[in-house]
A and B are shown apart, each in its own frame.
Chain A
Amino acid sequence: MSNLFIPMTVLLCASMIVAGLMSIWSKRSLPIVMLSSGLVSLLASVQYLLLAAPDVAMTEAAIGSGLTTFLFFFVLSRVRGGANG
């Protein structure tokens, strides 16, 4: 299994960078931006598992990608008018 680590890492990292770029580059709506950044976190938490850091992975998944993304959407729903300003 360990020989699968490297390709998985490469794949994960590449996706993370793409998602990261989407989250800052995308001219499209804010929900997509926020989802992409949540995706970065989620992918990162998988990567943490590969890096033998299960504690961090759990935290990142629960807090980094879960709670933070939710907070974003929550605030976005409140300031809808400014989202595309």
Chain B
Amino acid sequence: MVKSFSVLVLLLGIGAMFAALLLGYVPDSELNQTARYYADKTASETGAANIVAAIVVTYRGLDTLGEVTVLFLSAAIVGLVLASGHQQGKMRHAQPPSGELLVIGVRLLVPLILLLGVYVFINGHLTPGGGFQGGAILASAMLLLLLGDPLRTFSHKLIAIVESISGLVFVGMGILGIFYAGGFLDNRVLPLGTLGEVFSAGAIPIIYSFVGLKVGAEFSSMLANLSGTEEL
């Protein structure tokens, strides 16, 4: 009780800070310099219709690279954490088999979901969605497979190769930008094409696709690692 109360007092202080922020908040009526630049220049500079995607992949591409790296780290560390001191050779409890319906449903759904994921990230520069969303969708296919067959083991090697190659492609496209365009991660290493088409916006669709693959692979890797654990 004392603890709750003191936490409450502290949060009152934080709340005061937030209140000050909220009361001092005045919505912009015009876009600020940065946003205006993006609104005006995105189409001509990057050829992407989805400005958010252009910012994420190109203008703030370094952040995205960092973000992908965050996931990469998380996946790697989840693996490390779960592997540390892990005793091998214990048999897992036999679990009741999943229902027939689920198994069939999974078989039907998984390809569809995979397709959806790919669609989401390939069109990331045109419509809402992109590598992260698509990647998460890919991972959910994985999830379904896991639900269908809890004892299923995944090819860690395949996942690892997908995540490595997509990471390398991301970095590689970035380096190409240094040599053939205006700087690291500049998407103009490829022709910008026509605004609104799938094959446009230079390297954005390619990068976003590999981001998608990578994100999907990272999440899958985490899931695979978690599913390899035993119930305690």
Contact = CB atoms under 8 A, between A and B. Distances in A.
Assess A/B contact in the complex (Cβ within 8 A).
Answer: yes
Given A78-B231, A78-B232, A62 B128 contact: no
Nearest to A56: B52
B210 interface: no
| Chain A interface mostly | helix
Interface string B116-130: 000010000000111
A81 to B, nearest CB: 6
Contacts of B136: 59, 62-63, 66-67
A81 B230 CA distance: 13
Interface residues of B, number: 23
A80 B231 CA distance: 8
A75 interface: yes
A78 B230 contact: yes
Contacts of A58: 120, 128-129, 133
Interface of A: 54-55, 57-59, 62-63, 66-67, 70-71, 74-75, 77-81
Given A71-B222, A77-B231, A81-B232, 9 more contacts: A58-B129, A62-B137, A63-B132, A63-B133, A66-B136, A67-B219, A70-B143, A74-B226, A78-B230
12 contacts: A54-B128, A55-B50, A55-B128, A62-B132, A62-B133, A63-B136, A67-B136, A67-B143, A70-B143, A74-B226, A75-B226, A80-B231
